[in-house]
């Protein structure tokens, strides 16, 4: 759910010099990978455009999962469908060695695409009881095409590695619930638990660049839903009521002191109230007010402090008004931890990536404040790396950096339009290199 990228931050990172990662990783030369990727690109481009034009929402990805299942079966993978409702797991065993997992997402977003591309989506679906347009405006179609291309490339190079490939296609990442659904459906009991795991994500940085970091790379995400309970009445006689709107208003402002006065200012943490629903008319004081929002953090201790502070502030707002305790639901609807990349995996993989693309095109980026349920896999103790692939024309990025320049459409924008070539090629080459490096690393 990469929905709040700092465009300037990422773009500056790929245009700046960066430290050299430790050398010594065993790699396969670009001369072996690039011709394979170039030779299959026409098929990958056709797959990408088909997926882009026919997106499906979370847990509705029947056609999408079917296409990917057919692609991997044709390569000789053992494919199991309907894992976690609409997910799939594909295994390819090539002798003794590590099990390496590569994840892609299947789902799109409930929004209208406005790119004007010849293969733009006009698909519609039911979402929360209403009809909505559907669009791949987060780049999951790029991920899927790169995922298929990586599987093909690794099989063409199977004399270069030993072990088990575990390619998973995860449903409903946008609701941060698909990874948990797969784990709850036996992902690590019905199938091997991986020794290493990888995932990539599009970013609106220049194509040809790969972004990485060790440690926290995305934020934890928790939902917030609070219902303040009052006593309704006429707006001309507030003394005869208990006004839930004033309670909610106090909470909206007071809860920010949890961020500014209780949390260490050096640590990241955000509390945002995005919806405030109460009342039907200006002269009626309602008997309830409902607030919804989101909570973001990187570190578990900051996350707990924010959750505790939000709960206390809500109770205090009601107590000040002499009202009943509010209903406080934190993280009930959607909650996921921060994606935390393993330092050793990152160090080895970055060295391999730089052998593929050159030092200047593999850059360290800052953690982002959006969230991703790939965290379910890192939380399961799997040494992992989640990295970024640029998908924007470098000229457009440079123009956006100028004073008064045209802003770039980023992930979740109706105008988000990745440049397929070379973005998909870079994705395949980067992920192939990452997996080959892991295959040559002893499992812990």
Q: How sure is the predictor about 27, in pLDDT bands with cuts at 50, 70 and 90?
A: low
Sign of the four-CA dihedral 176, 179, 184, 185: positive
Predicted confidence at residue 9, as pLDDT, reads: 47
In this structure, the dihedral spanned by the alpha carbons of residues 134, 139, 143 and 146, taken in order and rounded to 10 degrees, is 110
- 244 and 385 in a single domain? The answer is no
Q: What CATH number is given to the structural domain containing 304?
A: 3.30.70.360
pLDDT digits (tens, 9 = 90+) for 154-185: 999 999 999 999 999 999 999 999 999 999 99
Q: How far apart are CA 102 and CA 439, in angstroms?
A: 12
Domain assignment present for 80 = yes
- 57 and 201 in a single domain? The answer is yes
- 319 and 372 in a single domain? The answer is no
Strand duo 269-278 + 288-297: pairing: antiparallel
Q: Which domain holds residue 28?
A: 7-218+337-439
Structural domain ending residue among the three candidates 308, 335, 362 = 335
- 130 and 249 in a single domain? The answer is no
Structural domain ending residue among the three candidates 313, 335, 357 = 335
Number of domains comprising the chain: 2
Q: How sure is the predictor about 14, in pLDDT bands with cuts at 50, 70 and 90?
A: very low
- 45 and 180 in a single domain? The answer is yes
| 143 assigned binding-site residue | no
Contact yes or no for 336/294 (Cβ under 8 A): no
| 174 assigned binding-site residue | yes
Q: What is the share, in percent, of the chain residues with pLDDT greater than 90?
A: 90
Q: How sure is the predictor about 331, in pLDDT bands with cuts at 50, 70 and 90?
A: confident
| 201 assigned binding-site residue | yes
pLDDT at 8 over 70: no
Contact yes or no for 144/72 (Cβ under 8 A): no
- 325 and 413 in a single domain? The answer is no
| 412 assigned binding-site residue | yes
**DSSP line for 89-147:** EEEEEESSS-EEEEEEE---BSS---S--TT----EEEETTEEEE-B--SSHHHHHHHH
Structural domain ending residue among the three candidates 280, 314, 335 = 335
Q: What CATH number is given to the structural domain containing 35?
A: 3.40.630.10
Sign of the four-CA dihedral 149, 150, 152, 153: positive
Is the pTM higher than 0.95? no
Average pLDDT over residues 117-123: 98
- 240 and 388 in a single domain? The answer is no
Cα–Cα distance list, 37 to 30, 40, 211, 220, 238 (Å)? 10, 5, 20, 35, 70
Alpha-helical regions (H) of 213-284: 244-254, 256-257
């Amino acid at each position: 759910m990469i929905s709040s990228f700092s465009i300037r931050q990422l773009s500056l990172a790929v245009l700046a010099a960066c430290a050299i990662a430790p050398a010594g990783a065993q790699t396969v030369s670009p001369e072996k990978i690039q011709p394979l990727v170039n030779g299959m690109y026409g098929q990958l481009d056709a797959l990408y455009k088909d997926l882009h034009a026919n997106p499906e929402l979370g847990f509705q990805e029947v056609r999408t999962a079917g296409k990917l299942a057919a692609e991997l079966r044709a390569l000789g993978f053992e494919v199991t469908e309907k894992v976690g409702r609409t997910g799939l797991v594909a295994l390819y065993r090539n002798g003794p060695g590590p099990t390496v997992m590569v994840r892609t997402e299947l789902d799109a977003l409930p929004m209208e695409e406005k790119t004007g591309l010849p293969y733009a989506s006009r698909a519609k679906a039911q979402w929360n009881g209403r009809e909505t347009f559907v669009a791949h405006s987060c780049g999951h179609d790029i991920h899927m095409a790169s995922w298929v291309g990586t599987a093909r490339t690794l099989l063409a190079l199977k004399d270069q590695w030993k072990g088990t490939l575990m390619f998973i296609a995860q449903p409903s990442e946008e609701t941060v619930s698909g990874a948990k659904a797969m784990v709850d459906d036996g992902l690590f009991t019905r199938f091997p638990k991986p020794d290493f795991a990888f995932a990539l994500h599009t970013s609106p940085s220049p194509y040809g660049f790969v972004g990485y970091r060790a440690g926290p790379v995305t934020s934890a995400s928790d939902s917030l839903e609070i219902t303040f309970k009052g006593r309704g009445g006429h707006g001309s006689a507030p003394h005869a009521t208990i006004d839930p709107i004033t309670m909610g208003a106090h909470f909206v402002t007071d809860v920010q002191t949890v961020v500014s006065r209780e949390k260490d200012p050096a640590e990241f943490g955000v509390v945002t109230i995005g919806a405030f629903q109460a009342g039907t008319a200006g002269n009626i004081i309602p008997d309830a007010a409902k607030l919804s929002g989101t909570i973001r953090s990187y570190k578990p201790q900051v996350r707990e402090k924010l959750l505790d502070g939000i709960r206390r502030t809500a109770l205090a707002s009601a107590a000040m008004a002499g009202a009943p305790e509010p209903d406080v639901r934190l993280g009930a609807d959607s909650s996921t931890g921060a994606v935390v990349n393993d330092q050793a995996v990152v160090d080895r993989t970055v060295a391999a990536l730089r052998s593929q693309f050159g030092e200047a095109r593999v850059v360290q980026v800052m953690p982002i404040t959006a969230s991703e349920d790939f965290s379910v896999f890192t939380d399961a103790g799997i040494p992992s790396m989640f990295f970024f692939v640029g998908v924007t024309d470098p000229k457009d990025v440079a123009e956006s950096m100028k004073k008064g320049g045209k802003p770039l459409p980023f992930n979740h924008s109706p105008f988000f339009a990745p440049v397929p070539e070379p973005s998909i090629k870079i994705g395949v080459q980067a992920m192939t290199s990452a997996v080959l490096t892991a295959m040559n690393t002893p499992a812990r």
